[in-house]
Structure 1
Amino acid sequence: MDIRDLDRRAGALLGEVVMQVRPEHLWFPTPCPDWTVRGLLRHIVSENEGFAAAAIDGTAPVQVWTGGRLGDNPAGAYRRSNVRVAEAFADGGALDRPMEVREFGTFPRRVALTFRQLDCVVHAWDVARAIDVPYDPPSDMVEMALGLARRIPDTDSTRGPGAAFERSVKIPGDASDLATLLALLGRNPDWISPLD
């Protein structure tokens, strides 16, 4: 399996959700604590720009990882940043070349793409839940993301305020793979917007 193909599909899946965001949605709360839809979209664009720059140069300044701009067209900003990622990883022969992924460390580019793929699958759910649109990701994307999520330490020193993920949430043992993925990354799969 070419991880770039799975990543492109995950980026497109997230894009389908982002394209449904209307201006009135931008200030809605999301399952990500302290982030509105606008804040989450800015984070997603910033991360894309960070992944693209680090894939090309091996590393990227924190300002690139956090400095994404939405302008007056968040969907367009997402689309452009997603294309940058695909272009940055297009040279398949260099997938083993190392790159730094912000606070997570340095990894081969193929491994870094699994982080972004996880982000796409989970943030698509965050946005879809916030704006109340259907979301049903393909099982292979969920399985890949779930495999990675199971390897992310769940300790006070690695999770919580200021960290990439919240502490995991307890859910029933017979929960779906998507619900398990969300819970492992600190999201309540049954999250309901306070606006409802």
Structure 2
Amino acid sequence: MKLVELHARAMDLAVEVVDTVRPDQLDLPTPCAGWTLRRLLEHCVGQHQGFAAAARGAGPDLALFADAPLGADPAADFRRTGADLTAAFREAAAAERALWLPEIRDGGPFPLAQALGFHLVDTLVHGWDVAAALGGAERLVAAVDGDDALADALLAVSEAVPDTPEARAPGRAFRPGLAPDGEGRFDRALALLGRDPAWKA
């Protein structure tokens, strides 16, 4: 399966998780240190919008990736911007377009496959963050581990993320890696990115 379709599958799984969020749960803590569920979803929606703009040819404008305020229905915001990003990635694939991503290293431009990999990891890991904040990510983990192509893509990109003091410093996307404790590919990817698969609020 092409990476653009694997990303679409990852987005569908994340949407399933976010669709279960209730308004009274937005102040719950998440595995992202110091971030509530509201803050995490604002980040995700902002990233959807930034990556979509990049996929449609925007230059290295950091403001395009700013966190986005949520409306009355945060799940609808996540679903709408996720669907737009999926469409934008498909447009970029048809145009064979590289993407400027100003938050990553020198900003690029990055080949589309690399940009897709970046956001596929972001989508699944933040989907897990949401599910863990809600009290259980087992269903999401099982769905990913049961999809060999998706689980392999997640693990391959996670293994390629630099684990150096500079790359994993406070404020960066990921914390220093942890020793994998489990056989599942999703759990191994989480540990590589500094997430504890057993995290509880």
Q: Identify unmatched segments of 5+ residues in structure 2.
A: none
Correspondence for 1:123 among 111, 126, 137: 126
Deviations 1:5-39 (A, max 9, x none): 11111111000000000111100000111111111
**Distance between the aligned counterparts of 1:100 and 1:165, measured in 2?**
21
Other-structure match for 1:112: 115
Question: How far apart in 2 are the matches of 1:76 and 1:60?
Answer: 27
Mapped to 2, the partners of 1:179 and 1:160 lie a distance apart of: 22
Q: Check the 8 A contact 1:121/1:137 in 2, yes or no.
A: no
Q: Distance in 2 between matches of 1:138 and 1:40?
A: 21
**Take 1:182 and 1:129, find their aligned partners in 2: how far apart are those partners?**
12
- Report matched runs for 1:36-55 at 5 Å: 36-55=36-55
Cα distance in 2 for partners of 1:125, 1:28 equals 14
Aligned residue in 2 for 1:16: 16
Q: Does residue 183 in structure 1 map to residue 186 in structure 2?
A: no
Structure-1 residue corresponding to 2:103:
103
Percent pairwise identity: 37
Q: Please give the TM-score of this superposition, normalised by the length of structure 1.
A: 0.91
* Alpha-carbon separation, structure 1, partners of 2:169 and 2:24: 29
One-letter amino acid of the counterpart of residue 152, structure 2: E
Deviation at 1:132, TM superposition (A): 1.4
Q: Deviations over 1:151-193 (max 9, x none)?
A: 1111111103111111111233x53211110011111111111
Instruction: Determine which of 143, 161, 165 is the counterpart of 1:152.
Output: 161
- Please report the RMSD computed on the Cα atoms of aligned residues, expressed in angstroms: 1.5
1:66-145 matches, within 5 Å, as: 66-91=66-91, 92-95=93-96, 97-104=97-104, 105-106=107-108, 107-133=110-136, 134-135=139-140, 136-139=142-145, 140-145=149-154
Structure with greater strand percent = 1
- For 1:93 and 1:72, the matched residues in 2 are separated by 35
TM value normalised by structure 2:
0.89
Unaligned runs of 5+ residues in structure 1 are none
Asked if the contact 1:28/1:37 (under 8 Å) is kept, the reply is yes
Q: How many residues align?
A: 191
CA contact (8 A) 1:17 1:127 kept: yes
Contact 2:177–2:193 (Cα < 8 Å) also in 1: yes
Q: 4+ residue stretches of structure 1 with deviation over 6 A? A: none
CA distance in 1, matches of 2:26, 2:121: 23
